[in-house]
Structure 1
Amino acid sequence: MEKSEWAEISALVAAAPYPVEVLPADPERATACLTALEITTRSWLGAVVANSGGLVIDHGWLRVLGGGHDGLPDVTAEMDADDGRLIVAYDVMGGQFAWLPAEPGARPTVHYFGPEDLAWHDLELGYGDWLHAMLAGAVTQFYEGLRWPGWEAEAASVALDEGISALPPPWTREGKDLSVVSRKPIRLAELVSVHQEFARQLGYL
């Protein structure tokens, strides 16, 4: 029988320093995703896809994509075969994590596009190392500058297909202190699109 990495991931979920919800898997969708990605459950990504609809981490702040769930797309939803880009997670502020090669032929690493600077950053971690870090506690430090008092209840109150829009936005000087800006839930796809459009207009993309 093919070895799965899910046991190790499950142990990390159980030991995580913040809440982690494993969304139920849909076997048919999971199989379709694994086929499209041409991977097996012996990889961490394959194990997440096969065994979950996604992982909801730290009061809903981070949503790691798996085989898909109501309100959350599967990990193949925005797969770009041309550059090898695969969106593997979103955060509640409209940030994106993509797994892609830094250059053609290179080993893929996870990159982050965040609302605080509208730029892609290579985290220089493979998918397994990145997910291990996020489940082990790295979310807290990673998002230290994007949080405000009471963010936990606010993040937990929005649906999986929603994010939190801030005005002025975090990439402006006036929007750096998220405790004093205007915040409201909007569709996550719209929030991500707005960030990307501003990045294009400002010449960051």
Structure 2
Amino acid sequence: MAQWIEVRARYDKMMENGSVKKVTEPYLVDALSCTEAEARVTEELTPFISGGDFRISSVVTTKISEIFWDASGDRFYKVKVNFITLDEKTATEKRTATYILVQASSFKEAYDNFIDGMKGTMADYEIEAINETKLVDVYRANLASEAEREADKMLRDPKVQRHVKKFVDACAEGGVESVTMTACDGRTVKSATIEIPQKGNKPKPNDNG
């Protein structure tokens, strides 16, 4: 499940009229931690900053549970939606608030995109509010690099390396030349081919005694 973290970056920005203005801009990042989110925003913005002051002013987790994307949209709207359930014991309605971010170019498009994104939802719901945010951009998780980091970490584990050594030794005894191994923790995968060092052929039994 995505964890959306808001990162605010403060830096000297070149304006359209050529002047330089110090601005603070919010970005949203799908990351496992605030540290990772801060590093991601710094990485994304560094190529566009030519000198001057740059710093991360704040990093906070948000309550956004999902994002409805629209590549043609240039703004992000936060929708507060209440899911309605019925308490069977008291026969009263219970409302649970959820926040969904919608990418769109206008308020009307945000509403339409939200309704379209909710198609197929069986639960009853009501829209409480739709507000335009000041988000400059939203960065999805970099799954490929994250998977590689997690897989490398697993392969460096001493316990894993001991098992690999035992397996390689057993393969060498059996004359296997190479083995392709895969590391997986349920969501990350990394494969590697290991060349098996061959031991010298064992002498054949002497039939002459």
The answer, yes or no, to whether TM exceeds 0.5 is no
Q: Which has the higher strand share?
A: 2
Q: TM class, shorter-chain normalised?
A: under 0.3
TM-score by length of 1: 0.22
Q: Which has the higher helix share?
A: 1
TM-score by length of 2: 0.22
Larger Rg: 2
